[in-house]
Structure 1
Amino acid sequence: MANESWHHATLALQLIAIDPGLGGICIKARSGPVRERLSQMFPADARRIHPAISDEALYGGLDLSATLARGELVKDTGLLSTSGPLLLTMAERASTALAARLAVALDTSNDHTLIALDEGAEPDEALNPKLAERLAFFVDLSDCALRDCDEISVPPLAVRGTATISPDTITQITRIAEELGIDSLRAPLFAIRAAKALAAFNQRTEVIAEDVQLACAMTFAHRATRVPEEPQQEEQSPPQNQSDESQDNGDNNSLNLPDELLLEAVRALLPDNLFDQLAAQKARAGRGNGTGAARKGNRRGRPLPSRAGRLSDGARIDIIGTLRAAAPWQTIRRRATGREGLHIHSSDIHIKRYEEKSDRLLIFTVDASGSSALTRLAEAKGAVELLLTQAYARRDHVCLIAFRGTEAELLLPPTRSLVQTKRRLAALPGGGGTPLAAGMLTAFEQSAQAARRGLTPTIAILTDGRANIALDGSVDRKQAAVDAQTVAKSLRAAGTDAIIIDTGNRPEPALRNLSQILDGAYLPLPRADAERLSKSVATVLES
């Protein structure tokens, strides 16, 4: 894999040079000889960006020394003011604000490309996902040794944008992205552009099957959120029919490439710990970070750096920040007006800002049905007790819901009473059907009430996933699954954080799909005891 990763890294840099519309590449590698050799392929005119770069350096600003020397306004040119490649070092440390600014630059113009050097040592140390989404390629060189690296030799670049691709192939690429659980349209667009760039790189005017396979592998593997199951033999006949049809319509330039070949090319590059990486990304994105949501204000909370702004109702002026902004202009303003004293303009006004954290509510939704009681209910109770202790130490509110039989029951409304919560949990009986949708709906109602009171709710669902009771109380496994998905869509639309802990003896695919609908983390924990269960959940919640 090391040689293949190196090959993909060098090839990706060449494709970006052919088509800047590919956005760029994120290279995960610590500083060392491997990255040093790869840097020989970086564009010579690439401008280096540090994670702590200021807005003035990005967009341009006042050149104070030149202004004072000349007696007239002189401005610097920012890095984003001119087109060309950008090199972001220590990309894992880039703030959300910097990631947003670079993302806008990539969205609004194809004149910029970005090479992000990710030096993160831990899974949750990574480039901001919103910025990474705008880069076509990702390569991990962490396990690549110097002996695995070929010598750098860059052939002359082909003419940009000369290759063509058939509409059928575009449809197929989009379908493969959907099967891999990729919900962003940027991914298939990048795959199409990469396939065209590969054809141009090899001096071809038409995209061939090998171009599509390699393009999908390089652009989809790091974006996949699920691994498609192997197809049954009887399901392989439709591609043959499609092939016959495309041969009859010989003028559409279809490649007749089976979907399974594309999927296999992507599967070969999928990391073994795909789902662990996805859970780490969700934790880094700020879901369940151990505190409530951050809320900006102008009256109370933790002070934030002041910002230029206008005085309005409730706003408080930052005198020190205002004076600091006005100080460099005093000599120029005095000469212009001929008046002594302090000159304050409206553009100098800085407003105080504060940030306060809301309390978090952990809503534990526990499966107490017969199937769960016979297997993992005891471990689930023990895990919840350990999590309750951690929540109490953080002064979080907790809420306890159990679902079994045909309905869900609110055992304990939001409280900070650890003793009372443990007592209710210990008395929780087991048995009956699995009304998963009812449990989720009750949790949704509690989260909505909590949000109205200013709390930040997080739902933790512990279940084996064998839902068989619909919302109307009927025994209907199919309708029960549909009802659970409907409630999950409502939770996602409300922006409620959620985590599903699969406590069954075997991972349940339906629960993994449900977590994707929730846009929440999924933890399959078969054969885990109470302590391991609690530690895994606490890791995702960043306790």
Structure 2
Amino acid sequence: MRQDTREPWVAGQLAATLLAVDPAGLGGIHLRARAGPVRDAFLAGLPTVLTPWHRITPGIDDAQLLGGVDVGASLAAGRRIETAGVLDRAGVVILSMAERCPPDLSARLGQALDRDAGPLVLLDEGAEPDEAAPEGLCDRLAFHLDLEQVRAADMADVALGEDEIDRARLRLPDIAVPDTAVRELTGAAIQLGIPGLRAVLLAVAAARAHAALCQRDAVAAEDLQIAAALVYAPRATQLPPEHEETPDESPDPADTEPTENAADEDPMDAPPPEVVLDAVRALLPPGVLESRASRAARRAAGTGQGARAKGTQRGRPLPSRPGRRHGGARIDLVATLRAAVPWQALRRQEAPDRTGVIVRALDIHLRRFERRTERLVIFCVDASGSAALARMAEAKGAVELMLADAYARRDRVALIAFRGDSADLLLPPTRSLVQAKRRLAALPGGGATPLAAGLDAARAVADRARRAGQAPALALLTDGRANVALSGAQDRAAAMDDARAAAQRIRALGLDGAVIDTGARPRPELAELAAAMGLPCLALPRADAHRLKSGLDAALGT
């Protein structure tokens, strides 16, 4: 059964209205949608209470975000001048390209949300499931909307009027939340596999906002169902089994005795847990829980762009460059004064009362450093078939050549061989040439080709290296004749499907490297697999160790 494409739009309109009623309590909206008319229409339809907008990008610096001393203006005026940051202004902060948000910006925005700085809208344009906004930020936002499947015909305006929102905002502080409502929402969160209490608090805030819109004095059953559907459905990772009706075995009312606190119990007609869970089920597309449960951890932050990283804190000094001070950037005082001195005569004519060296914003030079990041080159070698011995011999030679100059480039090398129905890490990441020669002395070969298993093993090693602060790169040596699926079955079609899926998972890591086609004739399937990984494909039949190393060095830019 296919989900009605109108439901996400209707849910989004209601979420935007609730956010306008209680922006501080609900945090904001995580909006997953590509740039286009649907997303533009949604943003244009936000209530006027959620204005003005302040659009930021992942590259915003701390001075613009948090405010502080404006160095250039202070130098020009001869006194301290401070500017307000985006987070200090009223209105909504809209983060474009949220899937590229760096960890430091995510932490600052999260701290602002914890201080009730104002609502936040994350515009998530990720193309793959693993390309998503930071989890720590999404966890603080009540509503997660996916408008990818919404069509122009579905964009009906169902939001309430501005006067109704204003009345709801005035009524909101007086809305009562019975204890039974909190218990129902907490129990539903546990059954849906939602960890922590933040989602429960956001659901309570959504229920209060909905009750205020409906002009009620306390949260009712309908408010709980709406809150659970909007807040819990995008977070659910499991569903309890369907409630089965059993014969009524309730005790005879005559046999029950009233408790002492029976008169004090809240009279709210709270729905049973099944009713709240049914409200969540209604908004879950088929198969979405399985995909959430099996989704791998989000990829670690990093660029994978090679073995060098420029910064402003430490490393080998580089020539200073003019620039605007931001974040932790440090001013090169000598270079700044050197740039300002030739203009002192003209500047003193403009400001005869100023003493000392007159420095302008254009004179500021920032210190730069280059820090070499340790790189790990992962050789993933096809050790199957009759040509396995030749491939393995050349791979061993390429590994030894790479290790020979590892001390100069601070590289490490790892070797994975796949054959039969599995892949083995034969050489863990190392820079020791002696250890490598000892482990590479005798390696097995022959058997079937579990290409997907080899790619998954390489991805696991690359992910560990990325988390350790290294820059992993992949060198895949194979003829592309995959014939063993991840299940171990001898099925070429299933094996290639598994290999393509593994290639997509590798692409999410953003690795450098190359796919080296060692077959006698280039195979178009292997070129497609390399494109799926975002890597070049080099056809090097009967290549020796030196050619393999040269081709890989060219692909890595070394």
Matched to 1:119, the amino acid is E
Matched to 1:265, the amino acid is A
> 1: CA distance between counterparts of 2:97 and 2:303?
26
Give the drift of 1:413: 7.1
Within 5 A, what are the aligned runs for 1:247-262? 248=262, 251-253=265-267, 255-262=269-276
Matched to 1:354, the amino acid is R
Q: What residue in structure 1 maps to residue 145 of structure 2?
A: 139
Give the drift of 1:23: 0.6
Select the residue among 365, 373, 380 that pairs with 1:356. 373
**Secondary structure in 1 aligned to 2:82?**
coil
Q: What residue in structure 2 maps to residue 529 of structure 1?
A: 494
**Secondary structure in 2 aligned to 1:261?**
helix
Q: What residue in structure 2 maps to residue 265 of structure 1?
A: 279
Deviates more, 1:245-254 or 1:83-92: 245-254
> 1: CA distance between counterparts of 2:425 and 2:309?
39
Select the residue among 148, 158, 169 that pairs with 2:154. 148
Matched to 2:178, the amino acid is S
Contact 1:161 1:196 in 2 (8 A): no
Q: What residue in structure 2 maps to residue 181 of structure 1?
A: 193
Contact 1:306 1:318 in 2 (8 A): no
Contact 1:161 1:197 in 2 (8 A): no
**Secondary structure in 1 aligned to 2:332?**
helix
Select the residue among 92, 115, 126 that pairs with 1:120. 126
> 1: CA distance between counterparts of 2:259 and 2:247?
18
Contact 2:33 2:147 in 1 (8 A): yes
Relative to 1, partners in 2 of residues 1:342 and 1:258: Cα closer, same or farther, differing over 3 Å? closer
Relative to 1, partners in 2 of residues 1:7 and 1:69: Cα closer, same or farther, differing over 3 Å? same
> 2: CA distance between counterparts of 1:337 and 1:74?
17
Deviates more, 1:15-24 or 1:46-55: 46-55
Can you list the C-alpha shifts for 1:480-531, whole angstroms capped at 9, x where unaligned? xxxxxxxxxxxxxxxxxxxxx98499xxxxxxxxxxxxxxxxxxxx998333
Contact 1:359 1:397 in 2 (8 A): no
Q: What residue in structure 2 maps to residue 464 of structure 1?
A: none
> 2: CA distance between counterparts of 1:137 and 1:235?
39
**Secondary structure in 1 aligned to 2:93?**
strand
Give the drift of 1:275: 5.5
Matched to 1:55, the amino acid is D
Stretches of structure 2 that go unaligned for 5 or more consecutive residues are 322-330, 400-412, 430-435, 449-462, 473-484, 508-532, 534-558
> 2: CA distance between counterparts of 1:355 and 1:237?
72
Matched to 1:271, the amino acid is P
**Secondary structure in 1 aligned to 2:234?**
coil
> 2: CA distance between counterparts of 1:80 and 1:208?
35
Can you list the C-alpha shifts for 1:223-246, whole angstroms capped at 9, x where unaligned? 1223333244459989x99xx999
> 1: CA distance between counterparts of 2:185 and 2:75?
58
Q: What residue in structure 1 maps to residue 173 of structure 2?
A: 161
Q: What residue in structure 2 maps to residue 87 of structure 1?
A: 94
Contact 2:486 2:498 in 1 (8 A): no
> 1: CA distance between counterparts of 2:18 and 2:501?
40
Q: What residue in structure 2 maps to residue 459 of structure 1?
A: none
**Secondary structure in 1 aligned to 2:208?**
helix
> 2: CA distance between counterparts of 1:268 and 1:48?
34
**Secondary structure in 2 aligned to 1:156?**
helix
> Rg bigger for which structure?
2
Count of residue pairs the alignment pairs up: 416
> 2: CA distance between counterparts of 1:284 and 1:421?
34
**Secondary structure in 2 aligned to 1:211?**
helix
Q: What residue in structure 2 maps to residue 8 of structure 1?
A: 11
Within 5 A, what are the aligned runs for 1:51-450? 51-63=58-70, 66-107=73-114, 109-151=115-157, 153-154=160-161, 155-157=164-166, 158=168, 159-234=171-246, 248=262, 251-253=265-267, 255-274=269-288, 278=292, 282=296, 284-286=298-300, 301-307=307-313, 320=320, 322-323=331-332, 326=336, 350=367, 352=369, 354=371, 356-357=373-374, 359=376, 396-398=414-416, 414=428, 423=445
Can you list the C-alpha shifts for 1:317-375, whole angstroms capped at 9, x where unaligned? 555264388468879999999566999xxx99847352524648899xxxxxxxxxxxx
Stretches of structure 1 that go unaligned for 5 or more consecutive residues are 295-299, 310-314, 364-380, 403-409, 427-446, 457-500, 506-525
Give the drift of 1:77: 1.5
Contact 2:307 2:471 in 1 (8 A): no
> 1: CA distance between counterparts of 2:125 and 2:427?
45
Q: What residue in structure 2 maps to residue 48 of structure 1?
A: 55
> 2: CA distance between counterparts of 1:290 and 1:421?
34
**Secondary structure in 1 aligned to 2:224?**
helix
Can you list the C-alpha shifts for 1:225-277, whole angstroms capped at 9, x where unaligned? 23333244459989x99xx9999455234544222222221122223352675
Give the drift of 1:213: 1.1
Relative to 1, partners in 2 of residues 1:76 and 1:255: Cα closer, same or farther, differing over 3 Å? same
CA RMSD of aligned residues (A): 5.4
Q: What residue in structure 1 maps to residue 525 of structure 2?
A: none
> 2: CA distance between counterparts of 1:147 and 1:246?
57
TM-score, structure 2 as length reference:
0.59
